[in-house]
């Protein structure tokens, strides 16, 4: 992730010719409940989103001729989400400027990590600055809704409890923690997973308040000694009106054992169907659980899975299968571009 970009620019638009190294972070779903299906075929969901520091990066160069172009992102269609986001924003704002984008993909596709949606959101936030549009965050979220259900949360910029099709968002203060994320080198089609007749579509609805109480109990559990400052802050902010550092997450990391208990709230209703469609997920789950000592969970519609990591940030299991992508990530307290729109 570019640590410079997020801290240099203020929220007010300024005349710019380029923006370099703009980060687009991945997300994890702590749980994902399918509570119903609407008449239009879309599903009613409940989930908790948290950003992690596995990021794509995008460079933006202003074009005065009104053209919109993109390079990089091998294998992506010409009309990918970055290009579609730029076109949608230009149409929404009535803007005549253009942009050339250079995309450096690091987040795997069809992994349930939100890479394409995050790219689109960072395009909206960056072009709002580059083109000097001065649009508010709520306006950018409205543009994002037309691009995909996960785009609005990346524009929203805060970890969130989400409902509806995933676009009704309420801000959450979540702990920082280290997480081992594994992608097995094969993706899953979101449409196929949601379209499976075996998918559970009637999980009883939970409440954000119930989630926060569960999180507070997990982080305050005395079974493991040495509660970190970050976990203390997050427990207070989530359930007891506490205060914290500017990113709302405290200065240190919650322990893996506490995070394992925190993740006991809910399930990912898509995981069973995804494992039927990609049996390799069972191997990923077993591999993660053996190395992390806790239950592994799938993010989104898969195929990436994750578990709280008890090791250090620069420590990685030595027996990573050759075709997999495995990273130790840090869960973030906020999106790195949170200050880029009022």
Instruction: Exactly one of 53, 150, 269, 285 is catalytic; name it.
Output: 150
Supply the DSSP string of 154-202, one letter for each residue.
Answer: HHH-S-EEEEETTTEEEE------EEEEEE-S----HHHHHH-TTS---
150 is an active site residue: yes
27 is an active site residue: yes
DSSP code of residue 120:
H
Task: Please state, as a whole number, how many other Cβ atoms lie within 10 Å of the Cβ of residue 222.
Answer: 6
Separation in Å, CA 142 to CA 75, 158, 159, 160: 28, 16, 18, 17
- Secondary element (H or E) of residue 8: helix 5-8
Cis previous bond, 92, omega within 30: no
Q: Please calculate the CA angle 177-180-184 and round it to the nearest 5 degrees.
A: 150
Instruction: Exactly one of 27, 105, 216, 285 is catalytic; name it.
Output: 27
- Secondary element (H or E) of residue 124: helix 115-130
Contact 218/262 with Cβ under 8 angstroms?
yes
Closest among 138, 190, 197, 128 to 165, alpha carbons compared: 190
Q: Is 211 helix (H, G, I), strand (E, B) or coil?
A: helix
Residues identified as active-site: 27, 150
């Amino acid at each position: 992730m570019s640590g410079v970009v997020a801290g240099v620019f203020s929220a007010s638009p300024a005349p710019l010719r380029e923006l370099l190294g703009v980060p687009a972070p991945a997300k994890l779903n702590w749980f994902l409940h399918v509570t119903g299906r609407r008449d239009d075929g879309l599903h009613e969901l409940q989930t908790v989103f948290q950003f992690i520091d596995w990021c794509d990066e995008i460079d933006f160069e202003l074009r005065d001729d009104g053209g919109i172009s993109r390079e990089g992102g091998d294998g992506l269609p010409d009309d990918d989400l970055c290009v579609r986001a730029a076109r949608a924003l230009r149409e929404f704002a009535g803007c005549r400027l253009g942009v050339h984008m250079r995309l450096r993909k690091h987040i795997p596709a069809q992994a349930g990590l939100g890479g394409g949606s995050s790219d689109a959101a960072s395009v909206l936030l960056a072009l709002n600055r580059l083109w000097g549009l001065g649009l508010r965050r709520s306006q950018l979220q409205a543009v994002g809704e037309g691009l995909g259900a996960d785009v609005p949360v990346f524009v929203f910029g805060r970890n969130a409890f989400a409902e509806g099709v995933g676009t009704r968002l309420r801000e959450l203060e979540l702990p920082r923690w280290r997480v081992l994320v594994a992608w097995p080198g094969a993706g899953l089609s979101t449409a196929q997973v949601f379209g499976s007749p075996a998918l559970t579509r009637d999980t009883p609805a939970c409440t954000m308040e119930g989630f926060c109480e569960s999180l507070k109990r997990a982080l305050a559990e005395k079974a493991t000694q040495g509660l970190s400052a970050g976990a203390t802050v997050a427990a207070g902010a989530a359930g007891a009106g506490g205060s914290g550092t500017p990113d709302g997450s405290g200065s240190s990391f919650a322990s893996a054992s506490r995070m394992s208990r925190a993740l006991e709230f809910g399930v990912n209703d898509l995981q069973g169907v995804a494992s039927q469609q990609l049996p390799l997920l069972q191997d990923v789950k077993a591999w993660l659980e053996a190395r992390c000592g806790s239950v592994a969970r799938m993010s989104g519609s898969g195929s990436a899975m994750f578990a709280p990591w008890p090791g250090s940030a620069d420590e990685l299991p030595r027996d990573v299968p050759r075709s997999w992508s495995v990273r130790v990530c840090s869960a973030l307290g906020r999106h790195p571009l949170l200050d880029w729109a009022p």
